Amino acid sequence: MAHPAPPPRGPIALSPALRRANLARLASESFDLLVIGGGINGAGIARDAALRGLRVALVEKGDFASGTSSRSSKLIHGGLRYLEMGDFRLVREACKERDRLRRRLAPHLVKPLPFLFPVYSGDPVGLFRLGLGMWAYDILASMRNIKMHRRLSPRKVASLEPGLKQDGLKGAEIYYDCATDDARLTLETIMGASGEGAVVVNYVNLLEFLKDAGHIVGARLHDEQSAQALEVRAKVVVNATGPWVDEVRRLDDPATRPCLRLTKGVHLVVPRARVGNRFAVVLRSPRDHRILFVIPWEDRTLVGTTDTDFSGSPDAVGVEPGDVAYLLEAVNAFFPDARLVPGDVVGCFAGLRPLAANDGAIDPSAVSREERIIESPSGLISVAGGKLTTFRLVAQSVTDKVLRFLPRKTAATAKARRRSKNLPLPGGVRTANGNRARSAQQEAARDDYLSQRYGARAPEVMALMQHNADLASPIVAGMPYTKGEAVYAVEAEMAQKVEDILRRRTLVEVRDQDAADRVARELEALIAPLLRSREAKPPAT
């Protein structure tokens, strides 16, 4: 098949040619830092370290964000729940980061979302205590949150959220956090790292560490796409593999004790018309009083999450009938007209929280969500936990540790520490006149949708569709994602497989698993020639 349009030429395009060139660089250059894992933490560390002038490489065994970072609740939040645990510092930091992401780093990907928190008679936290928590939340956000919280009477709740159970309702609070696309936030962070010189490659697995006198000096890797092994040299290696952190630590030292306790979090996607929720609503599970969310997602509602201990391989995490029953029970209890049954679930996903092991808590929901950074005698630095929201702070701490192994770099990079705070991710970049990049066509609804997903990069996607009208047609009828985005995903976002496009570059599969299955073959036919033709050509200069 002829190539449908000229490939995008943006400075940060993660093209097939760049992937090939990066593989060659991995094998031939020597790096200050090798990051294993392309979730939000690995991406953030690569960006932070590259911004400070280090020579950085990052490898990811699957697609970028294919682990926990595409299976979260997709919220950028201060963590109201952590107030209950008395974790004020965590909440304050998260609130600051939420605002920084929304205002400066990724305004196209981080959008305000109002939450309605109803209180019923018999709830463990009454209206008075919830109100105090709300004040604390606003104060910890330095009163700069999207809007201040406000109290609602039961009558007002009934008019704003008519489908919500009225029986026993005492009132509610409305407060604000943000929603995001977790996989795209991760991808843009990877692009940001690449734009600063980091050598990033997906579908490259860590096989073993290379050591010199017991100290790690590099790694043996395997490129799944070419089925070839390669060796990379690096002064420091960071293990940012989330739920796989212990697996990778055992490659370094088979006798090492696990540092993680994995808990599984499941989300379901159901038609929003069935639930009827207008707001993001905070619920308490009727079974165990755990906090759950019902989040509006255009014509869908996202319901989550469970929190149960998990002991299998992180590669095998999945959604069980018991998870579905637990979540549907809660939605049906609070939205009595929903009457959802498992057959109404159109999409679902399960992720693993890499929590700190042995902190004494029996209830998984009570284990601290803070990150852990562990240094091994071999020099391996492992990081696990944290939140999507606070990835930039975790990245800063990890790079600070890395710099201790590279003493001569410290002075040169001290000033650069602040850059990660203010530099927008690639799609969040403003144009010279101070406005976010817009074009005349962007006034149309589809183009608005593209700017919301791609920000300043939207014109590159539009250019593909203008060149070839067929690419303006949707991947699935009724969904906003176009074939042009699928082509762009291959040409500029390092997508290698159909599932990368259906699950992470777009959300087709999450919104409708059956529809994703139906279009998979057609999509394969569209992208296969793009991957093949790019593979055959020499790297772009």
Residues at the contact surface with ligand FAD, assessed by CB under 6 A: 36-42, 59-62, 66-69, 72-75, 77, 205-206, 240-244, 248, 265, 305, 351-353, 386-389
CA neighbours closer than 13 Å in the CB half-sphere of residue 444: 9
Pull the structure tokens for residue 395.
Answer: 């990245």
Task: Report the C-alpha gap between 503 and 506 in whole angstroms.
Answer: 6
Q: Which is nearer to ligand FAD, 268 or 516 (CB)?
A: 268
* CB nearer to ligand FAD: pick between 66 and 420: 66
Could you tell me the sign of the dihedral formed by the alpha carbons of 256, 259, 261, 264, in that order?
A: negative
> Is 250 or 467 the residue whose CB approaches ligand FAD more closely?
250
Smaller CB distance to ligand FAD: residue 248 or 487? 248
Smallest separation, CB 483 to ligand FAD (Å)? 26
Q: Smallest distance from the beta carbon of 477 to ligand FAD, in angstroms?
A: 30
* Neighbouring-strand partners of residue 456: none
Q: What phi-psi label fits residue 181: left (phi over 0), alpha (psi between -120 and 50 degrees) or beta?
A: beta
Q: Are 36 and 239 in contact (CB under 8 A)?
A: yes
Residues 6+ apart with CB under 8 A from 322: none
- Hunting for tokens 């409708």 — which residue is that? 512
Give dist(CA 438, CA 430) in Å, integer. 10
Residue 523, SS3?
Answer: helix
Query: Minimum distance between the CB of residue 222 and ligand FAD, rounded to whole angstroms?
Result: 9
Q: Give the nearer residue to ligand FAD in terms of CB position, either 61 or 497.
A: 61
Between the CA atoms of 106, 107, 108 and 113, what dihedral angle is there, to the nearest 10 degrees?
120
Q: Which two tokens stand for residue 199?
A: 């050598």
Nearest distance in Å: CB 130, ligand FAD: 20
**Largest Cα span, the chain:** 71
Pick between residue 219 and residue 515 the one whose CB is nearest to ligand FAD. 219
Say how far apart CA 65 and CA 62 lie, in whole Å.
Answer: 8
For the CB of residue 14, give the shortest distance to ligand FAD in the complex, in Å: 16
- Taking the complex as a whole, the smallest distance from the CB of residue 352 to ligand FAD amounts, in Å, to 6
The CB-of-9 to ligand FAD minimum distance in angstroms stands at 28
* 8 and 464 Cβ atoms separated by less than 8 Å: yes
Helix (H, G, I), strand (E, B) or coil at 454: helix
> Cβ 354 to ligand FAD, closest distance in Å?
6
Residue 270 main-chain phi, psi, to 5 deg: -130, 160
Please report, as a single letter, which amino acid is at residue 423.
L
CB 454 within 8 A of CB 12: no
* Nearest to ligand FAD of 69, 451 (CB atom): 69
Shortest Cβ 60–ligand FAD spacing (Å): 5
- Separation CA 199–CA 191 (nearest Å): 10
Shortest reach from residue 38's CB to ligand FAD, in Å: 5
Q: What is the DSSP letter of 101?
A: I
For ligand FAD, the closer CB: 277 or 389: 389
- How many other C-beta atoms can be found within 10 angstroms of the C-beta atom of residue 377? 10
- Cβ proximity to ligand FAD, 37 vs 428, nearer residue: 37
Strands 308-309 and 199-201: unpaired
Q: With respect to ligand FAD, which residue has the nearer C-beta, 369 or 483?
A: 369
Which lies closer to ligand FAD via its Cβ, residue 15 or residue 186? 186
Q: Provide the minimum distance between the beta carbon of 74 and ligand FAD in the complex, in angstroms, as a whole number.
A: 6
- Describe the crossing of helices 391-404 and 88-100 by its angle, rounded to 10 degrees: 100
